[in-house]
Amino acid sequence: MNISLPLNLLLLLVFAHLSCLFVLVPVYAKVFLSIDCGSSSLKSRTDNNSIVWVGDGPYIKTGKTHKVNVAPPNISGWDSRAMSTLRAFPARKKNCYSIDIESKTKDSNITVARVLVRASFYYGNYDNKSNPPTFSLQFNGNNWGSVVTTNGIIYYEVVFSLNKSSNIDVCLAQTQPDNIPFISALEIRSLDPGAYGYIPADFPLFFTERTAYGTNTTIRYPDDSFDRIWSSLGPLDNTSTVTRVRSNSPSIKVDVEDKPPKAVLRTTLLPLNSSHDIFYSPTRNHQFRLHFNAYFSEVIKLNSTQKRSFDIVVNNKQDNSFIAPKNPVIPPYGRTLEVHILNVTIFNSSFSINLLRTNDSTLPPLINALEEFIIGDKLAQGTNSNDVKALGLLQKSFAQLEDWNGDPCLPAPYTWDWVACNNDTDSPRITELYLNDLGLTGTLPDFSAMDALRTINLSNNNLTREIPEFLGTFPELTVLNLADNNFNGTVPSSISDDVNLKFNATGNPNLLCTPTSVCNTDPESRIPPPSTGNTDPESRIPPPPSTGNTDTEPIPSPVDKGRSSKTFAQPIIILLIMFSGLLL
């Protein structure tokens, strides 16, 4: 699949330098790509946040583009034009965007370490059905979430590490009848190598919340060079027990690994009553492993009698409390403090993070910003790379197969419609290939690397020339259907001699079918050669073919049956003012 490199996929090479020990430092490519799904515009445009948007044509070949019928809401920091077109996917089990970050750089030394990928959805009654759908969202063969769209804008964000493979795939899959998946925008931002680097590289972070408590507008790019979206609590009313205070420091140094934007550290949230503490108490419906980053910066230069000091306590219960490692927290003036609250397992539906002033503190706690993530399951390796390469050969040979993107097998059960896979959830093998009735013409490329195949169905195409020898080399093959094609010559003996193979090559008028060239074998009806003395036909019956799902099942079982609800109960972020349980 040739994907042209868009103009705005900037490759800014950070200079690799040699340390005195001559250790090679990897070179990182910088990616900042904003795809306006459903927009066929070939020209890029720049929005009010200085973000450059491009149409989605180069990244996907399937689906249908639409305009919304109800204009998107005007939300601070949010580009409404990107939300007014979308791409919907009425056909196929799953449809994938594929973004090849390194397509034009043949230099294998360029890596993209961690990326942030954001997918946004605005239904806008594009289909006039007044029925916002629910469907499955996936990335690089992993489950991302069950998208439950509403009449507002929702978005999902994931931070993950790319291995050697430089593709980012984002897939949408139907999970319920009449719920057609769609997507409005897809944004990809590479992160600095250090950002979120304390999370092991094989675990994704699913965004649930990112709030800048001191600001009254949304903050994102260009303030945040990674273009994270920092929401505001919105206007505070007269009855509020908290206030926003601007730092009186002439400058604020952001010297922490996750690099929050300066604008987030400029203003902070403080209780009005200096004896009050701060409680953060959201509700989460499932058991998750959560990760929090809290950001602090002192707003006034304290004199010798003033002290601001507090402990971060999770849950605040004697039996189940958890003290963050860096306690007590003393926000630095003119600088930034980041506190990780890592690996908090939430058992109950509600929990709290409490900022409790220490006894010697003369001032109440403050907070600038808080990020909350769900730590996902370990990333899958993806379908066996030999299988993927062989599928690539088939896709190159037959235009009918070209527009299939994403992982062919994962996440289960969302395979490409024309393959079936074994049960391995980390690096599955392709066990069945269904290329029948596709109008394939010409000759087959050698896909013998897919050596876990048990079933190959190539019937009812227009494949020509001799039946290739390699079709007789698959060690696990039990079904080979070449019926109704245009093969000529004779059947290779490696195929006709295979006593376990159910082989069908009827309907190939130029194929020689003689007693020595068998065009139709069925091990179940085969009469064993007399020399074995074995007359029991049962002894030759091969193991039954795999019963994995095939292309006969258009819609996978509803509600992501069989998958862990852990990955699938992502909270959704509704872009409304979020008084997200910050209590005082």
Ligand X SMILES: *[C@@H]1O[C@H](CO)[C@@H](O)[C@H](O)[C@H]1NC(C)=O
Residues that bind ligand X (CB under 6 A): 24, 48, 69, 74, 76, 79-81, 107, 109, 127-128, 163, 202, 216, 235, 246, 267, 289, 303-306, 343, 345, 379, 381, 422-423, 441, 459, 462, 464-466, 483-484, 486, 488-489, 504, 506-507, 520, 522, 546, 548
The helix (H) or strand (E) run that includes residue 566 is helix 565-568
Task: Compute the radius of gyration of the chain from its Cα atoms.
Answer: 29
When the beta carbons of 239 and 531 are compared against ligand X, the nearer one is 239
Q: Quick check: bond before 411 cis, omega within 30?
A: yes
In whole angstroms, the minimum distance from the beta carbon of 504 to ligand X comes to: 4
Q: Are 411 and 204 in contact (CB under 8 A)?
A: no
Nearer to ligand X, 134 or 422 (CB): 422
Minimum distance of ligand X from residue 533's CB (angstroms): 27
Tokens 């001032």 belong to residue: 363
* Among candidate residues 290, 282, 279, 266, the one with its CA nearest the CA of residue 368: 266
Closer CB to ligand X, 164 or 533, in the complex: 164
Which amino acid does the sequence have at 488?
A: N
Task: Report the Cα 111 to chain-centroid distance in Å.
Answer: 18
Nearer to ligand X, 58 or 268 (CB): 268
- If the CB atoms of residues 395 and 422 are measured against ligand X, the closer one turns out to be 422
Burial group, residue 130, by CB count within 10 angstroms (0-12, 13-18, 19+)? exposed
Alpha helices in 461-549 (DSSP H): 493-496
SS3 390: helix
- Token reading at 501: 């193979």
User: What is the closest distance, in whole angstroms, from the C-beta atom of residue 25 to ligand X in the complex?
Assistant: 11
Provide, rounded to whole angstroms, the least separation between the CB of residue 200 and ligand X: 7
Closer residue to ligand X, CB minimum distance, 239 or 303 = 303
Taking 3-state DSSP, the helix, strand and coil percentages for the chain, each rounded to the nearest 5, stand at 10, 30, 60
Q: How far is the CB of 531 from ligand X (least distance, A)?
A: 26
Kindly report whether the peptide bond that precedes residue 537 is cis, defined as omega within 30 degrees of 0.
no
The distance of closest approach from Cβ of residue 201 to ligand X in the complex, given in angstroms and rounded to an integer, is 7
Nearer to ligand X, 179 or 381 (CB): 381
Residue 196's identity, in one-letter code, is Y
Contact 570/156 with Cβ under 8 angstroms? yes
Between 95 and 232, CB nearer to ligand X = 232
Q: With contact defined as beta carbons under 8 Å apart, do 421 and 412 qualify? A: yes
Handedness of CA 361, 364, 367, 373 (dihedral sign): positive
CB of 104 to ligand X, least distance (A): 13
Tokens of 335: 């600088």
Burial class of 43 by CB neighbour count within 10 A (0 to 12, 13 to 18, 19+): exposed
Q: How far is the CB of 346 from ligand X (least distance, A)?
A: 11
Cα separation of 73 and 71, whole Å?
7
Closest distance between ligand X and the C-beta of residue 279, in Å? 23
Q: Min. distance of Cβ 236 from ligand X in angstroms?
A: 8
Smallest CA-to-CA distance from 295 within 402, 370, 375, 377 is with 370
Phi, psi of 240, deg, nearest 5 = -65, 145
Residue with tokens 């209590």: 583
Cβ-proximal residues to 549 (8 Å cutoff; 6+ apart), any chain: 413, 415, 420, 556
Are the beta carbons of 467 and 443 closer than 8 angstroms? no
Q: Which is nearer to ligand X, 400 or 486 (CB)?
A: 486
Question: Is 371 within 8 Å of 288 (Cβ atoms)?
Answer: no
Shortest distance in whole angstroms from residue 377 CB to ligand X: 11
Question: Minimal distance in Å, beta carbon 397 to ligand X?
Answer: 13
Q: Between 205 and 483, whose beta carbon lies closer to ligand X?
A: 483
Residue with Cβ nearer ligand X (43 or 533)? 43
Q: Which is nearer to ligand X, 58 or 218 (CB)?
A: 218
Record the tokens describing residue 202, joined without a space. Answer: 């094989």
Give the HSE-up count for residue 378: Cα atoms under 13 Å, Cβ half-sphere.
Answer: 6
Q: Which amino acid is at 299?
A: V
Pull the structure tokens for residue 152: 């507002």
Pick between residue 246 and residue 534 the one whose CB is nearest to ligand X: 246
Tally helices (H) and strands (E) across the chain.
Answer: 4, 37
Least distance between ligand X and beta carbon 499 (Å): 16
